Every structure is written in C-alpha cells, then in structure tokens.
Structure 1
C-alpha cells in the first residue's frame, strides 16, 4: 500500500501514525514527480494501468481518479486540498463528475455537524429542486436572496478545493449535496505548470514589467529613451 502511494478510499481505516503519514506523503510526492516526468516525455497523463516501466505509477494514477470521486460523493478520501491543488496545477485531467442518478428529495435532510444554517439552506435547495426541476437558483433570487447567495457559495467552495485552497466543504456537506443530486462542474484551469514554465516564472521574479513587449511602432531604443525622460 505504501509503495503504491495511492490509497484506497471509501471505507473506514485506522488513523495513521505520524511516521506512517510522513511515509505516505513521501510516496505520494514521489509518484507525483514520476507523473510529471511521464507527462514531459509523452505529452499526456494517460499512464496505462498496467505500465511495465513503472507498475506502481499506473496503479497510483488510477487511484487518484477514484479518490476524486470518493471526495465528490462525500466518502472517505486520501486527497487533501494540497494534493488536489498539485494535480490541478500540473494539468491532470479530472474525471467526469457524475451526478447522483437517484437523489433523495422527498424528505427533509439532517446533516450532523454541518451547522443549522447550512442545513436550512440545503433543505431550501431541495425544495427548490422539487418545485423547479433543477438547481439553477439565480444568484439574485427575489423569493429567497440568501439561498441564491448560498448556492453560489457552495460552487465557489468546491472550486477552492479542486484548486487546492482552503474550503468549507466537509465530507458530511459534500455527501449531503451529492445525495440530493446537486451538480458540480470542473472549474477552468490555468495552463499546466511545467518544469520550464516554473523555472521561467522563478527567474522572472518581480521583473515582469521589464519583459513587456514595447508598443507596436516603437523601437526598444525609443522606449528606453522615453522611460529615461520620465525619470525611470
């Protein structure tokens, strides 16, 4: 399990010790670096599940896709925001986020530990779905302005998680949203961070202004003369 570095999710496990957690982190980071090299050499992330050159990497890549789905369904997942952000920044293609085909809509939902206000909004959303047949609550919803804001906030919190930022979406909250069939979309991503782009960004530092292209029709020398005339 530690050698594979992926971890199976969806079930109850004993809490890891600090030593085993550190080993798992080291192994996960090693697989991530191996995936980065694979992408640099092959131009994609389509590592075969049975990859002869590195069988553990093939298993690990498949495991990450499963862990993403475990999280979306509110099940136990080995993905932390930091891990999710690392995969997202690399350009790792996320699996299609399927919506619950059999949502629970006809009875009030209780979500232990989610907070009373959050649970109230969830049930208002469930009732909106029953009345309208969808979850497209307008952001400025005259009948219930707080619900419109709340729905938009849940999508933002999901985006924060996918991008590796701090998120208020806990497993019980995610499970409750999945159970009523709330659809999540994959957020837009920036261009993948490659070794070359990371090095260029590091070398550029705060000198982005110096690298700007002069306006069309003005030579670099003329641009420098004008800058000197301004006292820059």
Structure 2
C-alpha cells in the first residue's frame, strides 16, 4: 500500500535527478523481485507471468539482433533493458548463495543460457562465446555508424578481433583447429562482414600503373619533370622521386 506508493514516488524523484533515499542497489533488488514501478506498464498476472513476458521479449530481441546483449537504456523497450541488467544482479546473488532473496533459479538460468544470455559485460570477466558476442555487438554498432565492417587493425581491441575472425575462418576452411563455427559465420554474414580485405598490389602491377600515368603526363605536358609533391597525382610524384633517387645512388656506387 503506502510503502509501495512511496517507493514509486522515490523512483520518479530519482529519474528527475532530485535527492532520494532510493539507492541504485535497492532499485536492482526490487527489480530482481519484479517490482512494478508503474501500474500502466505492468503486464497482467503476478511475478511469474511478468518474468516470462520479459523472457519472451528477450527471445524476440535475439531473433531480431542475433544476440541477447540488450543495452541498459534500450530505446525500443526500456523495461527489457532494466530487466536484463537486474537478471545479472540476481544471478550474482544466486551464485554467491549468501542468503539474499533472489528470483533466480537453476531453471531460469538454463532458459536464459539457451538464448546466449551474457552474464558479465566486463571484458576481463568474459570468456568464450560471451566475449565473442560482446565483440560482435560492438561490430554491429560500428557498422551502424560507419556503414561497413572494415574496421582498421589499428582500432584497438575491435580491430584486432576482426583480424582474428578472418584468420580463424581461414584455419577452418583448411581443416585446422579453429574457434570459428558455422553459427558465427552466419552471424557475421548477416551484417555483411568483410572476409577479404583488398590485397596489396604486386610490385609489377604498381610499376605498370605508374608508367602508364607517367606516359599520360608526358603526352599532356611534354616533359617528365614531375615534382615530388605533385597535387594532381601524389603517388606518381613520390614514385618518380624514388626512381631518381635510386638512379643517383646507383651512379654514385659505380
């Protein structure tokens, strides 16, 4: 009655940034017990029905996104993001077995595991598939921002992970031991993962290309005196300078 109403009022004050006695830890504990913050948002039935409704929402999220890593502030379904976060907190209490009340059970954990639920989000705590799915989520975000999956190797952890995926797939195709699986390939293909980056051109190809550009320059201007910093074709300018330098070094060595 009155206590529940007070808690809802405290939560609203916290959301407005006002001073409140409701701490983040208490919020997590209440959400772990499926506390209903707004009667307008509460699904019919009790805590059991509410838990399974959120579970079905998580199943739908995975079917759409290919993973079960729901952002804490999920715009499409804020309640789902909050629920997923609270499940991690409830699992910690369940695992620690310190006598604290929790809604987590072995059966519920098994159901969440079947969806590939990620129990920890800190990279140092993640291993195997959980860590892979976290990086996959980061790659999806990268694609949404940049329009492709061509992450530079120099882009820290994600760049190294992308390079590793290509290497692991090569091993798999050669029949060697690999961490790559058909399921992972499918997930990466769904976001148009770039399996083959453009290979560097062979020296002969580069030579032929520059020679053709030099001939075009001579036809147009009547000479081959291209400066090193040639705005019209910087690569050609550097190439010609290197040719002259190599010829001069050869003359001095004879």
Q: TM over 0.5, yes or no?
A: no
- Greater relative contact order, per chain length (Cα 8 Å cut-off, separation 6+): 1
Structure with more helix by fraction: 2
Instruction: Mark the structure with the bigger radius of gyration.
Output: 2
